[in-house]
C-alpha cells in the first residue's frame, strides 16, 4: 500500500516541477532549438543556470516520453544531467539534439564530461605532446597545470580560441566555434568515437568515425573480415562566435595559421611577444604577430609581389624568411587586410590566373575583364585573333596588338623609353609618367567613347541611329557593324540592326 502512495506522490511532485519550470519567468534566457532524431524541432527558452536534467524535463512532454529516456547531444558529445547550460557556452539560436534512448541501451550509456563549444586544438599534440582529454573545450594557455589557484575570471581571460573568417553577416575575422556533423547525412546528432588530436583530424575527411543518431541516415556499409558493418565519419566545421546562430548551415572558414602564442615566441619582424600570432607553414614554423603580417601583406600587395603557387593554383605569399615550400595555403588569411586591400588582392589574383591560363585582359580603360579565348591563334585566320569582351564592356579587339579589331597586319605601337628620368634628385617612374600627361584624360575619353574602323582604324564615334556604320574617311568608306566591329552582313542586320 505504501508503494502505491509513494508512486502517486512522485507523480504529483513531477507534475508540479514541470508546471513550475513552464511558468517560471526566465531572465536573460537563451532561445534554443531542440531537434529530435525523428525530424521535429522544438523551440524553448532556457535559463543559463539550469542543468541538462531540467532541459530533459522541459521537452519530455513535447516528445511524449519520460525524461529518463532522453539524451542530449551537443558538439559531438552526450551531455550529462548535471551539466549547467551556461558552462556549455551556448549562443542564441543554437541547436541541441534530443535523442530517444532505446531501452536496451539505457544501461550502456556512459557519462561524458561537460562539453563546451570549441576554441582551440591542443598545440602539444602536433609535436607529440600529451593528448587532449576533451576536444571541443576552450584550452587554457598553460597546458601543464589546471590553474587551481587562479580565479574563474582569470581562467576565462586566458582561454585560447579558434579564429575564422565570417563571410556573413560579420564579414570579418572573428573568434570561432568547432562543430561536428555526420559526413553522410549532415545531421548534428552524432557522438564522436574519439577526440581530434591535431589540425588534420579536423581539416581532412575520414579521420574520425562517429555514431549517428539520425533515424533517416543512409549509413554506408563496408566489408571487414567477411562481415558487413556500418562506417560513418565525422565532418568538422566552424561557426562564428560573434553573431546569433543561423542554423546548421551557418559555417565559417577556419584560419588555422592564427594561433595563441602558448610558447611565447617573439615576432619574426618586430621581436615583440604577442598573445596571438600567425605561424607560417614552413619547416621552421616562423612566427609573426598579426600587425606585422598585415604590414608584410600590404607592402607586397602594393608592389604586386604576391606569388602564384603552381601546385595549388593560389595567389599567395611565402614565409618572409625565404623558406622553401612555405606558401600560405588558405587565402582567407588575407582577410586580415582591409576590405579595399582584399578586393585589390582578388583582382590581382584573377588577372594572374587568366594570364597563366593563356588568356588576356581587356585593354579598354576602366575595364580589364579577364578573357580566355576559345581557340588558339594559328596566325592565318583573322577570326582567331578577334576577341570580344563578353561580360564586360563588349569591346572587340585584336589579340595580337590589343588595339581595336582590324583587318590586315597589326601596326607597331610607337616605342617608349624604358629608362627612368633622373634630374636633380627627382626620379620619375615611366609607368606613372604615362598617366601624368596633360592630354591623357582626353585620350582616355576618346578610347572609351569611340571604336576604330576595322579597315583604316580611324576613331569613330556613334551619336545615335542604327549599328550600321560607314567610315567617312576619304578613300575608305568601309561598311561595318558597331557591335561586331567586323564587316556589315545580313546577320548583323537581322540580329542587332538597332541594338
Number of other CB atoms surrounding residue 327 within 10 Å: 21
The candidate with the shortest Cα–Cα distance to 188, out of 100, 53, 94, 56, is: 94
Q: Are 447 and 365 in contact (CB under 8 A)?
A: yes
Distance CA 499, CA 492 (A): 10
Q: Which residues pair with 163 in a beta bridge?
A: 175
The candidate with the shortest Cα–Cα distance to 412, out of 400, 422, 421, 396, is: 400
Cis link prior to 169 (omega < 30° from 0)?
A: yes
CA torsion through residues 244, 245, 249, 251, sign: positive
**Helices 2-23 & 52-63 angle (0-180, nearest 10):** 100
The CA-based angle 247-83-215, given to 5 degrees, is: 50
Positions marked active-site: 466
Residues 6 or more apart from 480 whose CB is under 8 A from it? 453, 454, 455, 469, 471, 486, 487, 488
Amino acid at each position: 500500500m505504501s508503494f502505491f502512495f509513494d508512486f502517486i506522490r512522485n507523480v504529483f511532485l513531477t507534475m508540479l516541477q514541470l508546471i513550475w519550470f513552464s511558468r517560471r519567468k526566465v531572465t536573460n534566457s537563451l532561445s534554443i532549438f531542440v531537434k529530435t532524431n525523428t525530424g521535429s524541432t522544438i523551440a524553448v527558452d532556457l535559463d543559463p543556470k539550469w542543468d541538462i536534467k531540467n532541459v530533459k524535463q522541459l521537452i519530455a512532454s513535447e516528445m511524449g516520453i519520460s525524461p529518463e529516456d532522453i539524451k542530449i547531444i551537443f558538439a559531438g558529445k552526450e551531455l550529462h544531467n548535471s551539466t549547467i547550460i551556461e558552462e556549455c557556452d551556448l549562443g542564441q539560436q543554437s541547436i541541441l539534439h534530443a535523442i530517444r534512448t532505446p531501452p536496451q541501451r539505457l544501461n550502456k550509456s556512459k557519462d561524458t564530461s561537460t562539453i563546451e563549444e570549441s576554441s582551440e586544438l591542443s598545440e602539444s599534440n602536433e609535436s607529440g605532446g600529451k593528448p587532449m582529454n576533451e576536444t571541443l573545450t576552450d584550452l587554457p594557455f598553460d597546458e601543464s597545470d589546471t590553474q587551481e589557484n587562479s580565479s574563474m575570471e582569470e581562467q576565462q581571460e586566458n582561454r585560447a580560441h579558434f579564429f575564422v573568417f565570417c563571410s556573413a553577416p560579420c564579414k570579418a575575422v572573428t573568434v570561432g566555434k568547432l562543430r561536428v556533423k555526420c559526413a553522410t547525412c549532415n545531421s548534428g546528432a552524432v557522438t564522436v568515437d574519439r577526440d581530434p588530436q591535431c589540425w588534420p583530424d579536423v581539416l581532412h575527411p575520414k579521420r574520425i568515425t562517429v555514431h549517428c543518431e539520425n533515424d533517416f541516415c543512409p549509413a554506408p556499409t563496408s566489408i571487414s573480415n567477411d562481415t558487413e558493418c556500418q562506417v560513418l565519419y565525422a565532418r568538422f566545421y566552424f561557426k562564428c562566435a560573434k553573431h546569433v546562430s543561423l542554423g546548421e548551415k551557418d559555417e565559417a572558414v577556419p584560419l588555422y595559421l592564427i594561433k595563441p602564442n602558448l610558447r611565447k615566441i617573439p615576432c619574426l619582424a618586430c621581436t615583440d611577444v604577442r598573445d596571438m600570432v600567425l605561424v607560417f607553414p614552413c619547416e621552421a614554423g616562423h612566427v609573426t604577430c598579426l600587425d606585422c603580417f598585415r604590414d608584410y601583406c600590404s607592402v607586397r600587395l602594393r608592389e604586386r609581389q604576391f606569388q602564384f603557387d603552381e601546385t595549388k593554383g593560389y595567389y599567395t605569399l611565402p614565409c618572409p624568411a625565404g623558406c622553401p615550400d612555405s606558401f600560405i595555403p588558405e587565402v582567407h588569411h588575407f582577410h586580415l587586410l582591409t576590405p579595399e586591400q582584399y578586393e585589390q588582392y582578388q583582382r590581382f589574383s584573377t588577372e594572374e590566373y587568366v594570364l597563366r591560363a593563356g588568356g588576356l585582359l581587356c585593354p579598354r580603360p576602366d575595364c580589364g575583364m579577364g578573357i580566355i579565348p576559345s581557340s588558339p591563334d594559328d596566325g592565318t585566320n583573322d577570326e582567331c585573333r578577334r576577341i570580344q569582351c563578353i561580360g564586360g564592356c563588349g569591346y572587340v579587339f585584336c589579340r595580337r596588338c590589343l588595339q581595336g579589331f582590324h583587318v590586315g597586319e597589326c601596326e607597331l605601337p610607337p616605342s617608349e623609353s624604358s629608362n627612368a628620368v633622373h634630374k636633380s634628385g627627382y626620379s620619375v617612374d615611366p609607368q606613372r609618367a604615362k598617366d601624368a600627361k596633360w592630354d591623357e584624360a582626353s585620350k582616355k575619353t576618346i578610347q572609351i567613347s569611340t571604336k576604330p574602323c576595322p579597315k583604316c582604324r580611324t576613331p569613330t564615334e556613334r551619336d545615335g541611329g542604327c549599328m550600321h556604320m560607314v567610315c567617312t574617311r576619304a578613300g575608305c568608306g568601309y561598311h561595318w557593324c558597331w557591335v561586331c566591329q567586323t564587316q556589315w552582313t545580313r546577320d548583323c542586320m537581322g540580329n542587332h540592326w538597332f541594338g
